[in-house]
Structure 1
């Protein structure tokens, strides 16, 4: 294959793949211009802007809080169901095993409760920090001035 043929093939391939990259990753219309203001961004809304939501982080924090509450109530329920067992079951060989199991479950539930208690504020802080980061980046992006002639390139 001659060098000229190779160059022609490369040029033809480049023409076929000459879409312009957009910051929002949208392919420009067939005219090669950027999407019109308010065009869909693939997020399901027509605002044309990226939006941050702390929904996943907030839901994770809510779940951690719910788990903390439910493990505490489960521990109390477990303790109350064992009340009186030691006095009414004296002489049973399984009493010491039952107490060991109760203690083990209380320790496990306390560990889960404590972990969830420590995660809740951390997850909420991430949601807040991510929102603040998005606001800072948005402000910096708004500060960039683009001349009319450069738009759509």
Structure 2
């Protein structure tokens, strides 16, 4: 492909597709985020959703631990064999296996962090639910007291 042909193809592609950014979103609610049938502004997640993400992170952690250990072991064995036979590739493969171990630790730490954080979030939100329920219960008790005193019972 000649340079001129490449430039022509780029120009045609630019004509077909604007370079502006497009966001997939609901139109802005002119009345704010509350009220109406619009769920906009409300973040909802169920404990089932959190549990599924936490379970997936845990399973990834378990599986990757198993398979990465096997891959590293096989690489180190191959590296040792190549070094014994005098191949420079053995030292390079040994270096790759060590870098693999570093990257594996990073991924395993991240998946453990996700799983642990979701467990913490689940407990924290459960505590928030109890606090909110107690607060609302207290308010209704106060309301009953005011209604009783004003004769609206």
| Aligned CA distance change for structure 1 residues 113 and 75 (closer, same or farther; 3 Å) | same
Which residue in the other structure is 2:61 paired with?
A: 68
Deviation at 1:100, TM superposition (A): 1.1
Say if 2:116 is the partner of 1:121: yes
**Bigger relative contact order, structure 1 or 2 (CA pairs below 8 A, ≥6 apart):** 1
Say if 2:121 is the partner of 1:108: no
Query: 1:53 touches 1:131 (CA, 8 Å); kept in 2?
Result: no
Distance 2:45 2:63 in 1: 30
Relative to the length of structure 1, the TM-score reads 0.54
Relative to the length of structure 2, the TM-score reads 0.54
1:29-108 → structure 2 map (5 Å cutoff) = 53-82=46-75, 84-89=77-82, 90-108=85-103
Say if 2:124 is the partner of 1:138: no
Alignment size in residue pairs: 103
Deviation at 1:84, TM superposition (A): 3.3
Distance 1:94 1:101 in 2: 10
Deviation at 1:87, TM superposition (A): 4.3
State the secondary structure of the residue aligned to 1:144: helix
Query: 2:76 touches 2:97 (CA, 8 Å); kept in 1?
Result: no
Deviation at 1:72, TM superposition (A): 0.7
**Gapped regions of structure 2 (runs ≥ 5):** 1-33, 148-153
Query: 1:68 touches 1:116 (CA, 8 Å); kept in 2?
Result: yes
RMSD: 3.0
Q: Which has the higher helix share?
A: 2
Deviation at 1:105, TM superposition (A): 1.0
Query: 1:58 touches 1:123 (CA, 8 Å); kept in 2?
Result: yes
